[in-house]
Amino acid sequence: MLRAPQSRTEVGPVSAGVAGAIGALYPFLDTRPTDVDAVLAEVARSTAAKAAEIVALRESLVAEHGQRLVDCARRCAAAFRAGGTLYAFGNGGSSTDAQDVAQLFLHPPTAGRPVPAISLTHDVALITALSNDVGFEVVFARQVAAFGRAGDIAVGLSTSGGSKNVLHAFEEAARRGMLTIGLAGYDGGRMAECEFVDHLFVVPSASVHRVQEAQTTIYHVLWELTQQALTDEL
Amino acid sequence: MESSVPLAVGRAFARRVAPAQALAGDAPQIARACYEMAVRFHRGGKLIVFGNGGPATDAQHVVVEFVHPVIVGKRALPAISLTNDAATLTGIARAEGFDEVFAAQMCLLAAPEDIALGLSVDGRCANVRRGLTTARDLGLLTVGLLGGDGGDIARDALADHVVIARSDDPCIVKEVHVTIYHILWELVHVLFEQPGLLEPEVVR
């Protein structure tokens, strides 16, 4: 995951010192309760602003990705019906999303049909072996090469859209005839130019955090729609 | 691009609006939790995170946020997840039972100045409950990110700070939790950079 600059909370310095001789002798004897309250009030306002931000961002995705999510879910359902397995991958926070995607499809927390899904991010022995012997850019592609068959599904997440190991995995997955699904942030980065991604979902935000939050919603909704498609309700 | 949003998609996204908006109401509580977390970090404490299933992945995500900050130049703060060592997890589960997997690690790894962050989508996870109560007994600051009605963890006030995502859908609870822990990280750093708010101690 790219560590990129993003908007941050601005809270100005709040004066703290107690004036006069006492304050000079005991600089820590400040007006702390008031200061803390003032800062916390500002901080609380920024939390409310972020809540509004993510609600608006999700709303913008409905029109942009609504029909694509349905199309993608129908293809996923068809792949699972035909015996396909889903493989998920990503780096950093996105690696935890990959694991979440896998456990959601494999072991749904609510009523749902379990389908085969595996995350390629949690086998530390494999990942360190591949990184040490070949390079970090192949950690997912080599696993896709080992496990993937035509008709399987590859789900790759990258907030920047530029993670090389994710892009390599898509290329390998496409070569093997797998259905490829990409989630990216910002403008989609290199993933948006990648010919090997069948279904691309870009979250147009410059904040890594808001991108991750919206990506979580996208894969949750994709799972929900896939479940509906599996029971012919979509 | 326009009007023809499939009904199922519209419904799925609509269900997420109220729980995400409700977060604004929890802002003062989140700010207070962040302040106390910042004080703990300032004293040299570390963050210990745990949960089951989806929240196990969140525990690992929280660790990435704190140890490898998204904004260049922010200092790395110590955080560990109790969910990623399969050998330890299965070893404890076999010897002491699954309810003890987090509590037992807490006893071995926690120091009194640390922070325990337990995640549960419904507040009904026996091992998260045990993790939080053990942490509290050890003197840690305890924080619970819960969902649904908060379950027994909220009912029994087992954590110093509890934030509840207001949904019964575990997927939606998770989405609110992701926003909450992103905010926790960001605000801890904001408070960390306010001289005079934290105790005049040497930062280790």
- Count the residues in chain B: 204
Task: Report yes or no on B19 lying in a domain.
Answer: no
A128–B contact, CB cutoff 8 A: no
DSSP state of A188: -
B7–A contact, CB cutoff 8 A: no
Q: How far is CA A11 from CA B36, B84, B104, in A?
A: 17, 35, 39
pLDDT bin (cut points 50, 70, 90) of residue B1 is very low
Task: Report yes or no on B4 lying in a domain.
Answer: no
Report CA B72 to chain centroid distance, whole Å: 23
Amino acid residing at A86:
L
- Total number of domains in chain A: 1
Please state the rounded mean pLDDT for residues B1-6: 63
| Nearest Cα residue to A187 out of A168, A203, A199 | A203
Residue numbers in B near A13 (CB within 8 A): 194-195
Interchain pair B178, A8: CB under 8 A: no
When mean pLDDT is compared across A13-17, A76-80, A116-120, the lowest value belongs to A13-17
A33–B contact, CB cutoff 8 A: no
Residue numbers in A near B174 (CB within 8 A): 100, 216, 220
pLDDT computed for residue B199 by the predictor: 66
Task: Report yes or no on B185 lying in a domain.
Answer: yes
A87 φ, ψ (degrees, to nearest 5): -120, 130
For residues B104-117, one letter each, b for 16 or more C-beta atoms within 10 angstroms of the residue's C-beta and e for the rest, the string is: bbbeeebeebbbbb
The rounded distance, in Å, linking the Cα atoms of B149 and B168 is 8
Radius of gyration of chain B (CA): 18
Mean pLDDT of chain B: 93
Please state the rounded mean pLDDT for residues B69-86: 93
pLDDT tens track for A26-84: 344 444 544 778 888 888 898 999 999 999 999 999 999 999 999 999 999 999 999 99
B170–A contact, CB cutoff 8 A: yes
Task: Report yes or no on B51 lying in a domain.
Answer: yes
Encoding tokens for residue B141?
């600051």
pLDDT computed for residue A149 by the predictor: 98
* CB-based contact B196:A27 (threshold 8 Å): no
Please state the rounded mean pLDDT for residues B174-197: 90
Please state the rounded mean pLDDT for residues A111-130: 95
- Give the three-class secondary structure for A172: helix
Q: What is the ipTM of this complex?
A: 0.92
B18–A contact, CB cutoff 8 A: no
Please state the rounded mean pLDDT for residues B88-102: 97
The rounded distance, in Å, linking the Cα atoms of B94 and A65 is 45
pLDDT bin (cut points 50, 70, 90) of residue B158 is very high
A47–B contact, CB cutoff 8 A: yes
Task: Report yes or no on B20 lying in a domain.
Answer: no
- CATH code at B142? 3.40.50.10490
Task: Report yes or no on A3 lying in a domain.
Answer: no
pLDDT bin (cut points 50, 70, 90) of residue B58 is very high
Pairing of strands A86-90, A153-158: parallel
- CATH code at A108? 3.40.50.10490
- Tally Cβ neighbours within 10 Å of residue B11: 12
pLDDT computed for residue A20 by the predictor: 43
Please state the rounded mean pLDDT for residues B191-199: 77
The rounded distance, in Å, linking the Cα atoms of B9 and A220 is 11
Task: Report yes or no on A44 lying in a domain.
Answer: no
Amino acid residing at A103:
Q
B78–A contact, CB cutoff 8 A: no
For residues B30-59, one letter each, b for 16 or more C-beta atoms within 10 angstroms of the residue's C-beta and e for the rest, the string is: bbbbbbbbbbbbbbebbbbbbbbbbbbbbb
Q: Which A-chain residues 158-217 have CB contacts (< 8 A) with chain B?
A: 208-209, 212-213, 216-217
pLDDT computed for residue B200 by the predictor: 57
Instruction: Tell me the residue range of the domain where A221 lies.
Output: 65-230
Please state the rounded mean pLDDT for residues A143-149: 98
For residues B60-98, one letter each, b for 16 or more C-beta atoms within 10 angstroms of the residue's C-beta and e for the rest, the string is: bbbbbbbeebbbeebeebbbbbbbbeeeebeebeeeeee
Q: Which B-chain residues 149-168 have CB contacts (< 8 A) with chain A?
A: none
Task: Report yes or no on A95 lying in a domain.
Answer: yes
Task: Report yes or no on B22 lying in a domain.
Answer: no
The rounded distance, in Å, linking the Cα atoms of B117 and B139 is 13
Interchain pair A5, B72: CB under 8 A: yes
- Total number of domains in chain B: 1
Segment (H or E) for B80: strand B79-81
pLDDT tens track for A198-215: 999 999 999 999 999 999
B179 φ, ψ (degrees, to nearest 5): -60, -45
CA angle B42, B46, B51 (to 5 degrees): 140
**DSSP-assigned states of every residue in A40-60:** HHHHHHHHHHHHHHHHHHHHH
Task: Report yes or no on B180 lying in a domain.
Answer: yes
* CB-based contact B164:B88 (threshold 8 Å): no
| B12 or B197, greater pLDDT | B12
| Nearest Cα residue to B28 out of B161, B199, B190 | B161
The rounded distance, in Å, linking the Cα atoms of B174 and A128 is 29
Best B1, B15, B57, B191 residue to mutate vs chain A (most A CBs within 10 Å): B57
Task: Report yes or no on B122 lying in a domain.
Answer: yes
Nearest Cβ partner for A39 among B64, B179, B197: B197
Q: How far is CA A109 from CA A47, A100, B49, B197, in A?
A: 28, 11, 21, 42
Nearest Cβ partner for A9 among B5, B26, B186: B186
DSSP state of B48: E
Residue A56's closest chain B neighbor by CA? Answer: B17
Mean pLDDT of chain A: 88
Task: Report yes or no on A148 lying in a domain.
Answer: yes
pLDDT bin (cut points 50, 70, 90) of residue B179 is very high
Nearest Cβ partner for A51 among B24, B53, B64: B24
Interchain pair B187, A36: CB under 8 A: no
Task: Report yes or no on A88 lying in a domain.
Answer: yes
Encoding tokens for residue B13?
């996204």
Q: Is the per-residue pLDDT at B63 higher than 60?
A: yes
| A182 or B195, greater pLDDT | A182
Percent of chain A's residues with pLDDT above 70? 85
The rounded distance, in Å, linking the Cα atoms of A185 and A204 is 6
